[in-house]
Amino acid sequence: MSTRVDSTGIKLGMWIFLYSEIILFGGLFVLYAIYFYDYAGYFAEGGKELSRFFGSLNTIVLLISSFTVAASITAIQQGKKKMSIGLLIFSICCGCIFLVNKYFEWGAKFHHDIYPNSERLVNGEPGINIFFGLYYVITGLHGLHVIIGMTLLSISLVLVIRDKITQERFAMLDNSGLYWHLVDLIWIFVFPLFYLVL
């Protein structure tokens, strides 16, 4: 009974934390909408500078990883420890692929003199400068959340291997999964706002 109450309290705390994260990104999305209203044409022009291939690939990678994280939780609930471990490793690898893609994408932008306070942006149209300012803030913040999510999944992985997370006790893995789903959900909004903007 005590374990169930503790688990419920932890999960409630996680939901409250996730709500605060949604408010954070929600505020940034509202800011995007305000500037988009004033600079729609320049935002569309800025969007053409981004790689839809990388954006689409990262979307697919995160969607797959979200599924495998959920599957790992189901596996541990069914007592399938090895399957849960394999699915967690795969999910963490997906996170690495996402970050590597983002590294190359950002690297290409830096190579073309498109980065905060670069001469091209500072001396260019204000709308383009604002677009890429928001792009770096929002995708950078999201990337940080991917790293945090991978850290939580890695901790969960170690705990599963050490039998600290089991069929009866899996709150840590469940909460890590919730966080990872949030990371995925945020990207579902980020992708069309920047990569598919018209």
Task: Tell the burial category of 14 from Cβ atoms under 10 Å away from its Cβ (0-12, 13-18, 19+).
Answer: middle
Reported as a single tens digit per residue, the pLDDT across 142-173 is 999 999 999 999 999 999 999 999 999 999 99
Reported as a single tens digit per residue, the pLDDT across 76-126 is 999 999 999 999 999 999 999 999 999 999 999 999 999 988 999 989 899
Which tokens belong to 169? 């006790």
Residue-range definition of the domain harbouring residue 52: 2-195
The CATH number covering residue 23 comes to 1.20.120.80
Residue 161: count of CB within 10 angstroms of its CB: 13
What is the C-alpha separation between 173 and 87, in angstroms, rounded?
A: 12
- The tally of domains found in the chain comes to 1
* pLDDT confidence tier of residue 6, bands split at 50, 70 and 90: low
Q: Which of 17-21, 70-74, 86-90, 128-132 has the lowest mean pLDDT?
A: 17-21
What is the C-alpha separation between 164 and 35, in angstroms, rounded?
A: 48
Confidence (pLDDT) at 197: 87
